[in-house]
Amino acid sequence: DVKVTQSSRYLVKRTGEKVFLECVQDMDHENMFWYRQDPGLGLRLIYFSYDVKMKEKGDIPEGYSVSREKKERFSLILESASTNQTSMYLCASSLYGWTGANVLTFGAGSRLTVL
Amino acid sequence: AQSVTQLGSHVSVSEGALVLLRCNYSSSVPPYLFWYVQYPNQGLQLLLKYTTGATLVKGINGFEAEFKKSETSFHLTKPSAHMSDAAEYFCAVSDPTGSSNTGKLIFGQGTTLQVKP
């Protein structure tokens, strides 16, 4: 089975701290995604990447950046964490390139609390 | 732009009863449609998907969904609920043409299914 691993399940940070959320997939998927999950809002796409060093903004990129230096790893960066970034962050990957039939494989999530 | 609306943020059924979770979409082209499930403290996993062909799609754990283009709907059903079905369910749509931010999914708000004994 494809596995998507998010290194931190629970994090507590202070306002203004720089936060790194790491995601690794082990099946050579081209596409990787970062979503944010909030009650009543579902999942909202922050950034995605379809190749190494390639990235595109999703629907809510403000306050976030990403890095993809290797195919298997996709990092989400909060340059200066704020309380409104308290949320569950989900990483996902998918195999194919430019097709809408992708099935996403999700990690277990990283729950971030910003105090 | 594509969008997904799930009617009802919470649905409660008795064990053994029919499960019906509603999903309507908006898309300028026939979309690909998905249902994902999220069990407590886990990531999302695919239940079923519709791309082309037969409009009634069967998924895992006895769930199925029917694509109705005229109603722009993709409702999820299961004839008989089990306690283990309690989870959050997400409907999602993607653009099959690849013309808009390729491969990404637009998710609905989610529906929490409660199953009562």
Residues A44-67 have pLDDT tens digits of 999 999 888 889 898 899 999 999
Mean pLDDT score of chain A, rounded to an integer?
A: 91
How far apart are the C-alpha atoms of B98 and A56, rounded to whole Å? 14
Asked whether B33 and B46 are in contact (CB, 8 A), the reply is no
Beta strand B10-14 with B111-116: parallel, antiparallel or unpaired? parallel
What is the structure's pLDDT at B101? Answer: 47
Residues 6+ apart with CB under 8 A from B86: B113, B114, B115
Amino acid at A7: S
Please enumerate residues of A whose Cβ is less than 8 A from a Cβ of B. Answer: 4, 31, 33, 35, 40-45, 48, 50, 56, 58, 90, 92, 94, 96-104, 106-109
Please tell me the number of Cα atoms within 13 Å of A22 on its side-chain side.
7
Q: Which residue of A has its CA nearest to B52?
A: A101
Beta-bridge partner residues of A10: A111
Of B31, B90, B95, the CB nearest to A43: B90
Q: Which portions of chain B are predicted below pLDDT 70? A: 95-103
Per the CB < 8 A criterion, the answer to whether B103 and A32 are in contact is no
CB–CB of B93/B104 below 8 Å? no
pLDDT of B8: 92
Q: Which of B4, B42, B105 is the closest to A104 by Cβ?
A: B105
Give yes or no for a contact between A102 and A2, defined as CB atoms under 8 angstroms apart.
no
